[in-house]
Chain A
Amino acid sequence: MLKIENLHASVDDTPILKGINLQISAGEVHAIMGPNGSGKSTLAGVLAGNERYTVTDGTITFQDNDLLDMKTEDRARAGLFLAFQYPVEIPGVNNAYLLKAALNARRQYRGEGQLDAFDFLTQIKSKMKLMDMSEDFLKRDVNAGFSGGEKKRNEILQMTMLEPTLAVLDETDSGLDIDALKIVAQGVNSLRDEQRSFLMITHYQRLLDYIQPDFVHVLANGRIAKSGDRALALELEDRGYDWITREVAV
């Protein structure tokens, strides 16, 4: 599904990613953890095609396509989804309008006809229920005046509607209280199947109590310093990141 090889990327000529290698197969859930400044969000940004980041070396293959050669919108249409760490407020554009535009863009890319308005409503209403969101949400402007938790829930709602093949969650759990975290996890878990993969970037082990990963990787100083299963996350919870950072430095 996704294959990252020797990925190097920088921001304003400062190298951030220094040789990432990572392979994700269909149906797998990977968690990336790591201290602040280790390059977690840069990796998410590069995957989605944020032009703030310059890829200086390496390749990314997504479903047999050269991902780095694709425009941001084409990556999305091909099935890549990024849940933002800080979702953007878009005043004057309501949630229903954006979702319809996004779904239709994807359908057009895949040679499918326009979305049926009735199907859309039925579908979104059931997803909103899953995410514990009230119906007036559809008419509200995208993230405008939303609380932090509402914004994150909106990201997951968009994800459940867009049904990506690869979802990248950039610190979706940060700043959520336990109830909101459970709802977010419920949204993610509802999408899990053998075709769909997840890359969860997180700072806290807590998220992994609710969404069980198949693999856990620790990012330190722009590289994957250690990989393992859930046990690694628990070890990190106990011992912190320092011991890994030291191992990398050696």
Chain B
Amino acid sequence: MRPSIEHLTTAYESFRQARKVPSWYSEAQDKSWQRFAEHGLPWRKDEHWKYTSLYHLAKIPVVPAPDGHAETGANPVIYTGDQATVIALANGRYTPSSSSPTLPDGVTVTAGVPRDEKRSALSRQVVRPSVLQDLNAAFAEQWIEITIADNTTLSQPLYLWHHTSGEQLLCSPRLVINVGRNCDVTVVEHYGGAGDQCVINGSVSVAVAENSQVHHTKLQTDHDSTSHLINTNVDVSADSRYTSLVIDMGARLARSDLGINLNGQGAAARLYGVFLPAGGQHFDHHSFVKHNLPHTASEQDYHGVVGHGGHGVFNGKVLVQPDAQKIEAVQSNDNILLSTSAEIDTKPELEIYADDVKCAHGATVGQLDETSLFYLQSRGLSRRDARHLLVEGFIRETFATVKCDHFRAFLDQLIETKLNVLVDQLPLDATEMSSSKPASGTGPANV
């Protein structure tokens, strides 16, 4: 049976009575709701939800995040200061008072209901439509649109601080990022906060025009009772390169759907991911790259480190359309299980309809390599430090594309903190209890 949507239905009824939006928009919202309600929440019998259950959502009596009450609050892990342009979002709403006072040249931010349906990103082609997108559209009251003008190069990241506070709220952030031609920009989305049992169901739409470079990081350090469901859809035009890094550390459940349309010759996407679930956390990454034209390239490299009681999922798919010749697609997912109660489900998929392409995919699941541990110990590192170093190195491999040194240092620090939980809580190996000294006397040891 599908998870019940009783609480969501109640929430939508009260929401539609209170909302103040243009009629065309409220009609569009009702239609989205109907599509969602007819289908219901995804469950295990839906192909792309085989490993991830949303049953716990049915038990949370969520209410839509109200306007005006949320605060961005102080958070010790926030990446701030003069190193980035901060764009603050509280429970899915733009809060200029917590944002940087000025925006760099070429960047504009607007928030509100789109002026009309045609101009809105509603008409954009989504790589893999999802009912959760419908749910987002039904509740989203504010579209936050970030526009980057042609020929803009940003020296600092645009840091989107998605802060969640309150209890049992349904937050429905809707973000549209339009990057012009010949740009070079870094966008960091950081989801975090102290919200208790909140559900974040977000939709992010990115469009990259010709000949631009976009680095997009999604960092997730949500409260450990949060359900984090984000669907990101990216259109990449000719000669542009889109680089994504998705890092999951917090939340109870995190599901990231990342869809990429490679829409022009010379378009390329590089997708990296790091997920570190432990202690009942469930992190699921679904990526889908569509090679729609010849001479496009994609690379995917996801690294999972799963601790005691953690569950990780990777499902990466590459689709090569019939005319998309001379493309290159590489896909890999490597995982380290740190405990016997750690679980990983991995499924790289290729679907190819062209006949002159170069594609590869692979997945590995293993434990920390004993030979590597011994090598490090033989250099004087304790077993604990050796483990730390190996896991850290395994994670850091995916950070190589982060251009900003300061931000990479910030990530290193976050990872270090998480690893202290993940690695240090491991039980000592049995071998560490005994020494290699022979038992006294000869013959079999009788200790």
A50 nearest CB neighbor, chain B only: B374
Among the stretches A100-108, A113-121, A200-208, the one at the interface with B is A100-108
For chain A, which range describes its interface: under 10, 10 to 19, 20 to 34, or 35 or more residues? 35 or more
What is the 8 Å Cβ interface bit string for chain B, positions 366-408, against chain A (1 contact, 0 not)? 0001111011111111110100011011111100000000000
Task: Given A57-B442, A88-B372, answer yes or no on A76-B378 (Cβ-Cβ < 8 Å).
Answer: yes
In the complex, which residues of chain A have a beta carbon less than 8 angstroms from the beta carbon of B377?
49, 71-73, 76
A69 at the interface (CB under 8 A from B): yes
B431 at the interface (CB under 8 A from A): yes
Would B385 and A101 count as touching, CB distance under 8 A? yes
Tell me if A237 is interfacial: C-beta within 8 Å of chain B. no
Q: Which of B12-20, B26-34, B225-233, B432-440 contacts A (4 or more CB under 8 A)?
A: B432-440
Q: Give the distance in Å from the alpha carbon of A48 to the alpha carbon of B373 in the complex.
A: 13
Least CB separation from A99: chain B residue = B379
B392 touches A93 (CB 8 A): yes
Could you tell me the distance between the alpha carbons of A91 and B375 in the complex, rounded to whole angstroms?
13
Report yes or no: A84 in contact with B437, Cβ–Cβ below 8 A.
Answer: no
B396 to chain A: which residues have CB within 8 Å? Answer: 92-93
- A234 interfacial contact with B, CB 8 Å: no
Give B379's nearest chain A residue, CB to CB.
A102
Which B residues lie within 8 Å of A26 (CB)? none
A87 within 8 A of B: yes
Chain B residue numbers with a CB within 8 Å of A16 are none
Q: Which of B378, B389, B393 has the most chain A CB within a 10 Å cutoff? A: B378
Instruction: Judge if A152 is at the interface, Cβ distance under 8 Å.
Output: no
Does A96 interact with chain B (Cβ within 8 Å)?
no
Report how far A105 CA is from B385 CA in the complex, Å. 10
Whether A68 is near chain B, meaning CB under 8 Å from some CB there, is yes
Instruction: For the complex, give the distance between the alpha carbons of A184 and B379 in Å.
Output: 19
B375 contact set on A, CB distance < 8 A: 84, 87-88, 90
Residues of B within 8 A of A179 (CB): none
- Across the interface, A101 reaches (CB within 8 A) one of B370, B381, B397, namely B381
Rounded to whole Å, the gap between the CB of A78 and the closest CB of chain B is: 9
Within the assembled complex, what's the spacing in Å between the Cα atoms of A66 and B431? Answer: 19
Contact B379 A158 (CB under 8 A): yes
Q: Which residue of B lies closest to A51 (CB)?
A: B431
Do A162 and B379 contact each other (CB < 8 Å), given the known contacts A68-B435, A101-B385, A101-B389? yes
Given A84-B375, A88-B375, A90-B372, are A98 and B389 neighbors across the interface (CB < 8 Å)? Answer: yes
Q: How far is the CB of B442 from the nearest CB of chain A, in Å?
A: 6
Min C-beta distance of A90 to chain B, whole Å: 6
Determine whether the beta carbon of A58 is less than 8 Å from that of B438. yes
- Please give, as numbers and ranges, the residues of chain B lying within 8 Å of A73 by CB-CB distance: 377-378, 380-383
Contact B382 A105 (CB under 8 A): yes
Instruction: Considering the complex, give the chain B residue whose CB is closest to the CB of A69.
Output: B437
B interface residues, Cβ below 8 angstroms from A: 369-372, 374-383, 385, 389-390, 392-397, 431, 435-438, 442
Closest 8 CB pairs of A and B: A92-B393, A93-B393, A105-B380, A76-B380, A72-B377, A88-B375, A92-B396, A102-B379
Residues of A within 8 A of B (CB): 46, 48-51, 53-58, 66, 68-69, 71-73, 75-77, 81-82, 84, 87-88, 90-93, 97-98, 101-103, 105-106, 109, 141, 158, 162
Known: A68-B437, A73-B380. 15 other contacts (CB 8 A): A58-B438, A71-B383, A77-B380, A87-B375, A90-B372, A90-B389, A90-B393, A91-B394, A92-B394, A92-B395, A102-B381, A105-B379, A105-B385, A106-B380, A158-B379
